[in-house]
Structure 1
Amino acid sequence: MSVTVRVPAKVNVQLAVGAARPDGFHDLANVFLAVGLYDEVTATPSPDGPRLTCEGPDAGQVPLDESNLAARAARALAERHGLEPAVHLHLAKDIPVAGGMAGGSADAAGALVACDALWGTRAPREELLEICAELGSDVPFSLVGGAALGTGRGERLRPLEVGGTFHWVFAVAEGGLSTPAVYREFDRLTEGTDVPGPVASEALLSALAKGDAAALAATLTNDLQPAALSLRPALADTLEAGRTAGALAALVSGSGPTTAFLAPDAATAARVAAALTASGTCRTARTTTAPAPGATVLS
């Protein structure tokens, strides 16, 4: 038998970043929104697992060894239940790789759910979320989906109400950006300044709850955007191209280099995507909607 799980990408509609902690992490107020771009993770029994294969755009950039979060997720679940991680994980990727949309974290959450179903471990939700938090700051949200406020280093989640459908365009850049490198650049840019403690925007949470795209656009923020632009200045041209084409707002998605554009409706989103593609400032542009469900067993 095999089990296939679909997992969503995310956009950070607010990413408030505090100063570096003694452990090297940063306290965050991270408002996650799951969007309808998906990876699929298929788990099949294999005597020499965990073994990984991958297909899709930029599959060649995906590590297929034990450093991959999906392999680590399978091993973590197996160890907790006294099993051998005898599984072949196949990643069908549609989320941009190293693009600031949590594709690796999504694969980890998908692998965890797929292995739980394949092995019949029946781990409670709380246990799965514990393992997710051990694997990385974005992994718990990839499991949960929808919308949530992440605090701590992003792993402590509070579900949020979303009152409607939001239309998004994502411009995929050439190459990726290293999340640790972007945080190091954030630290360099803020060195010697008083970095305020991260706090979620009540106006943004209200806009989400009301499904008000214009109000949400007015409150989108990403404290990592200056660092991402410092490392990849050309992203400023992509952001400007999307705004000029009619986006309500534009920002770097997470640590980048994918850029995100909020549109008032599907027709405007399609026009923005076409303009971005024609501008030559990105490799491709994708339209989709949010919120999207978290890790879901398909078969």
Structure 2
Amino acid sequence: MSLIRPEARSEREVRVRAPGKINLSLRVGRREPDGYHPLSTVFQAVSVYEDVVASAGTGLTLTVTGAQADRVPTDETNLAARAARALADHVGLDADVHLHIHKEVPVAGGMAGGSADAAATLLACDTLWRTGLPREVLHELAAALGSDVPFGLLGHTAIGTGRGDQLAPALSRGEYHWAFALQAEGLSTPRVYAAFDDLHPTVRAVPGSDVALLQALRAGDPHAVGLALHNDLQEAALELAPGLAEAIAVAHDAGALGAIVSGSGPTVAALARSRQHALLLAAAFTAAGVADSVLTAVGPVAGARIIQSGHE
């Protein structure tokens, strides 16, 4: 553990932006004795963002605004608060910081909004406190917080293995335009995995790979990417929220190149031909009444990055 002198702290405010994600593919292996499932996934970061502002404070405090803010805890169970605490403990400082989160990513929507908050907080507090940790150390802290947190730091397009936290950048060309059908009621990730276990009691221990998808991304071919979208958890998510099947059908009827439940759901992600087509897909979701709200976005985008740093 490295120790940082208290006088090395900086009285500044730091704003960091981190993206939500979708899983272009998510393959799940048999649950291991520790309760976790081995994964093989292809992440893409999309332009639906969480902003975290870290500023000097006494003790650790947290406030939240934005989409579904009322559903986000503001005590130390919040993943961002846990991230600040983990970094402070690692460097031997008191976690004196106020965190303000402004949300765009849906809560419990399968797009890793909480993980984006944690990734943004690690970078924001590292900058605020001038602790200067290498990216690989931030990655280690991120992985200890949750499987999707390291990707919040990396962004772009990446292959995830292990629990999803072991990352390798994936070659990807071009832009991909998305429309998202959002639900007001989230899905619990542990419940979705439990349903997966019930549906697939004999699934193999090591998940498969995604050669066709990775080739499509390297070629920058959105049509081929749409055909290669895959989610082993989709059947389980549909078991718990059957109405999501209608959202997928609406997307296909409106000409989506592909449509899939994002991660553990319940967000449905539809791949569009263009930015204009993404708007049409969003309108189709709304007109059919299959979404409580809609978003459009583009990917891939960068991971957590500082967008403001200076004296208050």
Residues 14 and 200 in structure 1, CA contact (< 8 A), matched pair in contact too: no
When normalised by structure 2's length, the TM-score is: 0.94
Matching residue's letter, 1:84: D
Which residue is 1:171 aligned to? 181
Which residue is 1:141 aligned to? 151
1:18 matched to 2:29? The reply is yes
Matching residue's letter, 1:31: V
Structure 2: distance between partners of 1:18 and 1:284: 32
Matching residue's letter, 1:15: L
User: How does 1:281-292 map onto structure 2 within 5 Å?
Assistant: 281-292=290-301
1:159 matched to 2:159? The reply is no
CA apart distance, 1:266 = 1.3
CA apart distance, 1:196 = 5.7
Which residue is 2:133 aligned to? 123
Structure 2: distance between partners of 1:287 and 1:200: 28
Which residue is 1:295 aligned to? 304
1:41 matched to 2:52? The reply is yes
User: How does 1:1-299 map onto structure 2 within 5 Å?
Assistant: 1-49=12-60, 51-191=61-201, 193-195=202-204, 197-299=206-308
CA apart distance, 1:48 = 2.2
Structure 2: distance between partners of 1:235 and 1:165: 26
Matching residue's letter, 1:170: F
Structure 2: distance between partners of 1:174 and 1:125: 35
When normalised by structure 1's length, the TM-score is: 0.98
Residues 95 and 103 in structure 1, CA contact (< 8 A), matched pair in contact too: yes
**1:220-243 Cα distance to aligned partner (Å, 9 max, x none):** 000000000000001111111111
CA apart distance, 1:161 = 1.1
Residues 31 and 200 in structure 1, CA contact (< 8 A), matched pair in contact too: no
Residues 29 and 203 in structure 2, CA contact (< 8 A), matched pair in contact too: no
Structure 2: distance between partners of 1:150 and 1:199: 12
Residues 31 and 205 in structure 2, CA contact (< 8 A), matched pair in contact too: no
Structure 1: distance between partners of 2:209 and 2:62: 38
SS at match of 1:89: strand
SS at match of 1:162: coil
Question: Tell me, which stretches of 5 or more residues in structure 2 are unaligned?
Answer: 1-11
Structure 2: distance between partners of 1:57 and 1:168: 19
Structure 2: distance between partners of 1:76 and 1:196: 32
Structure 2: distance between partners of 1:63 and 1:190: 33
Structure 1: distance between partners of 2:191 and 2:253: 30
CA apart distance, 1:19 = 0.5
Matching residue's letter, 1:176: G
CA apart distance, 1:194 = 3.8
Residues 29 and 206 in structure 2, CA contact (< 8 A), matched pair in contact too: yes
Structure 2: distance between partners of 1:270 and 1:202: 30
Structure 2: distance between partners of 1:85 and 1:209: 43
CA apart distance, 1:111 = 0.5
